[in-house]
Amino acid sequence: MNVRVPLKLGVAATALAMGLAGAALGNTLRMADSTDIAAMDPHSMTESNTIGFLNHVYEGLVRYNQDLAVEPALATSWEFVEPARLRFKLREGVSFHNGNPFTADDVVASLQRASDETSPVKSNIPGLKSVEKVDEYTVDLVLNGPDPIVLNYLTNILILDQEWMAENDALMPADMRSGRENFAVANSNGTGPFILESRQPDARTVLTVNENWWDEPQHNLTRIEFSPIGSDATRIAALLSGELDFITPAPLQDIERIDRAEGVAVIVAPELRTIMLGMNQGDKLLDSNLTDSNPLQDQRVRDALWRSIDMDLIRNKIMRDRSRNAGLLVAPPVPGYDAAEDIRPEVDLEKAKALLAEAGYADGFEVGFDCPNDRYVNDEEICQAVTAMWSRIGVTARLNAQTKSKHFEKVLAGGSDIYMVGWATLPMLDTYSVLSALLHTPGDRMGAWNPGGYSNEKIDALTTQVATELDAEKRNAMMTEALKIARDDVAIIPLHQQPLAWAVRDGVSIPLTADNKPRLWYAKVE
């Protein structure tokens, strides 16, 4: 049955009526996301949806392909000429959208811009000390030390035209957090496969194909029309009525309804983001009937909690069979992941009770449990289910579900006993992200997301080695080892990789990647 749902009146519907109604022009892709892009300046924010969209206008020295492997973009090759000096050979014959030639000067100016002390994206290239021009098509990145994942970071550092920036007083980035704007906020001049035609914030952004793009197009698009539509119902209605070709996200609860409609389809896959439960491993619990001990310090207790969670049931009943149960803290595409080590304990309530008794908590205990209710897919429902499952072994979780801002404020302040967090390892797309942020002993810029204070000397040592090891095979082995230690120690309880879902009309082909970034230079429309 072909479903036709009328659009509701409102800002989103008005934008659609103005920009999307009627037949598409040429090979036009009409798309909508739940939020607007923040600005056209690629160095003005770290918001992933915005950076993902701007990758169609601007390019970096390297990029992720549809298999999430790093490949050449504006650079054709690179090598470490010294342990902390990475040399890039630049692509010749590339032009910016205004016709200016791409040279080393543009790379130097862009990287200096992105890494400036006042830059909002400075943290996205933490190891950069300086950038030096060698010749017109060669640049050196001088690093603070050997950095095996500098290329991963560089996929998010996009290159602007130095001459254009100078002419328009935009050599320094805007800062959307503080309200500091510049010419690049509403205008653009990149080298990417699409050119900015028009921009109406909170309404519509239009891109047209760059006929002079240096790369061999794998898409057949002539035009992209993007509209932010915050209402799930309105976004879905526009797709079903034929006013849109592509929407993201497709709400999990609506997937079956969309799939039943004629002329549209849902694309679903596990996301990179692993949902997990961190635990307070300090001397005392914060919200408990126990005042002089912390059972969570005992590996047997943590093991009991993990093996009492029925993830198959959660996957079936709450995630509608769309999630992927996890035994490790990273998803399969992330370097360091090893399928042989991706093992969850069998659900065994009697074994869990025995472990609690062995640890001295045969009667169970009470513990605080903090969850967001608006950050992850079905987050509160998952926590409610886990609370019920723990009750079967005598552990009473005092569930506190609240909005994400309040949740993370409490968690990062060290105010939680057990807490939900999701981690996608972006932008570095590497296990080092988990090791350095979630598992390393807090201190000296490490363990920023380890408020529970978990500490393991072996993991700390491996993290230090991983940070500078340039041999990929050795490095992956060390990351796998660290993840296995964390799993066996139940440092953090992994739950699943949550699903991501897009929806398209028939005749639209877009590769779905686990980082949830549409790469429309691979898209085709019929």
Could you state, in order of their start, the residue ranges of all structural domains in the chain? Answer: 56-176, 271-498
Looking at residue 176, what is its pLDDT?
77
Report the pLDDT value the prediction gives residue 19, as an integer from 0 to 100: 43
**b/e sequence 290-321, b meaning 16+ C-beta within 10 Å:** eeeebbbbbebbbbbbbbbbbbeebbeebbbe
Encoded tokens for 336:
């360091």
Q: Which helix (H) or strand (E) holds 496?
A: strand 493-505
Count CB-CB contacts under 10 A for residue 437.
17
**165, burial (CB in 10 Å: exposed 0-12, middle 13-18, buried 19+):** buried
What is the C-alpha separation between 186 and 163, in angstroms, rounded? Answer: 17
Residue 64: in which H helix or E strand, if any?
A: strand 62-64
All residues at 6 or more sequence positions from 467 whose CB lies less than 8 Å from its CB, including other chains: 147, 148, 432, 436
Dihedral over Cα of 330, 467, 74, 76: its sign: negative
Average pLDDT of every residue of the chain:
92
Q: How far apart are the first and last CA of the chain?
A: 21
Residues 117, 96: Cα–Cα separation, whole Å:
27
* Domain 56-176, CATH: 3.90.76.10
Q: With beta carbons less than 8 A apart as the criterion, state whether 274 and 312 touch.
A: no
For residues 104 and 137, is the Cβ–Cβ distance under 8 A?
Answer: yes
DSSP annotation string for 206-226 = EEEE-TT-SS------SEEEE
Q: CB–CB of 490/505 below 8 Å?
A: no
CATH number at 271-498: 3.10.105.10
- Inter-residue contact 219 to 242 (CB < 8 Å): no
- Assess whether the previous peptide bond of 249 is cis (omega < 30° from 0): yes
Q: In whole angstroms, what is the distance from residue 204 CA to residue 229 CA?
A: 10
At residue 90, φ and ψ (nearest 5 deg) are: -90, 155
Structural contact between residues 180 and 39, judged by C-beta atoms closer than 8 angstroms:
no
Q: Which two tokens stand for residue 281?
A: 């491993």
Q: Name which of 47, 36, 110 is nearest 426 in CA terms.
A: 47
pLDDT, position 253: 85
For residue 27, what is the DSSP state? S
Long-range contacts of 87-91 (CB under 8 A, 24+ apart): 87/134, 87/138, 87/139, 87/140, 87/141, 88/61, 88/138, 88/139, 88/140, 88/141, 89/137, 89/138, 90/61, 90/137, 90/138, 90/139, 91/137, 91/214
Of 7, 68, 405, give the one whose Cα is nearest residue 227: 7
CB 190 within 8 A of CB 100: no
pTM of the model: 0.85
Q: What is the DSSP letter of 417?
A: S
Separation of alpha carbons 377 and 497, rounded Å:
10
Residue 437: per-residue pLDDT: 94
Q: Specify whether the CB–CB gap between 106 and 164 falls below 8 A.
A: no
Below-70 pLDDT ranges, the chain: 1-25
Query: Could you give phi then psi for residue 272, rounded to 5 degrees?
Result: -65, -30
